[in-house]
Amino acid sequence: MEITGKNNSVNLDTYVKNVKDKRKIDVSTKQASKDVFEEDKVVLSPKAREIREAKKVLSSVPDVREDEVARIKKEIEDGTYRIEGKKLATKMIRESLLKDQE
Strand runs (DSSP E) across 1-102, as ranges?
Answer: none
pLDDT at position 43: 87
Instruction: Indicate whether 18 belongs to any domain.
Output: no
Identify whether 75 is part of a domain: yes
State in Å, rounded, how far the first CA of the chain is from the last one.
77
Domain count, the chain: 1
Tell me if 11 sits within 8 A of 3, measured CB to CB. Answer: yes
pLDDT at site 13: 74
The residue-averaged pLDDT of 84-88 equals 93
pLDDT tens per residue, range 25-66: 766 565 555 556 677 888 889 999 999 999 999 888 888 889
pTM as predicted:
0.36
What is the residue range of 84's domain?
46-94
Label residues 8-46 b or e (16+ Cβ within 10 Å = b): eeeeeeeeeeeeeeeeeeeeeeeeeeeeeeeeeeeeeee
* Averaged pLDDT of the chain: 80
- 57 inside domain: yes
Residue percentage of the chain with pLDDT more than 90? 43
